[in-house]
Amino acid sequence: MACRGACCCSSAGRLNADNARFLLLAVLIVLYMLCGAAVFSAIELPTEREAKERWEERLENFTRRHNLSRAELRHFLREYEEASVAGIRVDDIRPRWDFTGAFYFVGTVVSTIGFGMTTPATIGGKIFLIFYGLIGCAGTILFFNLFLERLITVIAYVMKSCHERQLRRKGVLPHNGRRGSGTSEVDSLAGWKPSVYYVMLILCVASLIISCCASAMYTPIEGWSYFDSLYFCFVAFSTIGFGDLVSSQNIRYESQGLYRFGNFVFILMGVCCIYSLFNVISIVIKQSINWILKKFACKCCHRCQRRLFRSRRNVVMPGNVRSRRNISIETDAVNESDTDGRRLSGEMISMKDFLASNKVSLAIMQKQLSETANGYPRQMSSNSKQNGFSGGVGALAIMNNRLAETSVDR
């Protein structure tokens, strides 16, 4: 799959499908970052220059009016910057390190939001934060994974019920009291999984509803515009956490207890939904990468197969395939293939099968990590082997187990 033009045969052993997918994703991410940097620079750089010019003009007018030197004024401003790190602001704000302020801070730490409006100023606080965040972030990621597992289970159950209802309306499935001709349909429905795209749409709608409701609460209470509230919701729910807008920071609110409880609930629900949505989108991205690699592989493999037919020494016969398949030097394990039936017919081994027989030990290690995390060895179905997600660990493994990847062949 990862062959490159005319030299795909020589490089096939060195670059398998997983490595090709990794390299292509790395290249796409770098290109995405370069495009993003160009767009943000074009949009924000003129505003930054205008703000700097206005500030220099105000600074000059202030020093002239009050007969101050530039050095003294800049020294005073640096002292204010140091005070602002400790939580001191010009306007009255809530205490940063009382119990409620500290609880808000640890919430931003363990959720990895990290707004930055509150940071520890003492050495003891910084040392404690390192160990506290190490355990807290790991525990919160585990919570998000468990939430994702239950959320996808509920969505799959609801979508499966709707799918069964549609089949019963069409007469494909028998009703509850009858069995017979629909036995095969019932058996196939037992392994039915919802499509990634439907789940992505549901999570998008849920995240949008939560963001709109939260923005309707933030706009009158915090005094932000509705667009700024939506912007804050995305930055907070996605755990980007710039810190330019931070909720629940004023010293007093109307219905303060109710507002802070609502703020906590909205942030918790939003972070969970956006985390789940990111994992679904990552599956769609990986599926797109698989499609790109498949297109490249088709062109490369056709060229390789024509050359292999011309040269008798490059033909791989079933006996040779089976002798090479039993023991692998790199993986020290038996490499099974889904296409042994095709090989027994005397057909030449395909490039996909050749690469599959040369998996490196990293794939086995990834599978062992997955089995250890789940506490039992997991049986991989033929679907999971074909969709490029076999042996996933963490959130990707959860999504793969509960969703059906819509392949390009469907």
In this prediction, the residues of the chain whose per-residue pLDDT falls under 50 are 1-6, 8-14, 177-181, 312-351, 354, 358, 360-361, 378, 380-391, 406-410
Full-model pTM: 0.68
CA 346 to CA 286: how far, in whole Å? 34
* pLDDT reported for residue 262: 93
CA 348 to CA 265: how far, in whole Å? 59
* pLDDT reported for residue 163: 81
Q: How many CA atoms lie within 13 A of 263 on its CB side?
A: 21
405, 287 contact by CB (below 8 A): yes
Residue 98: C-alpha distances to residues 87, 107, 110, 166 (Å): 12, 14, 18, 56
* pLDDT reported for residue 303: 65
CA angle 379, 154, 381 (to 5 degrees): 15
CA 403 to CA 283: how far, in whole Å? 10
* pLDDT reported for residue 346: 40
Residue 207: C-alpha distances to residues 106, 236, 269, 274, 284 (Å): 24, 12, 9, 6, 18
Torsion angle of the four alpha carbons 228, 233, 236, 238, in this order, in degrees rounded to the nearest 10: -120
* pLDDT reported for residue 30: 94
pLDDT digits (tens, 9 = 90+) for 67-110: 888 888 888 888 888 777 776 777 767 777 888 889 989 999 99
Q: Which tokens hold the place of 221? A: 């209470």
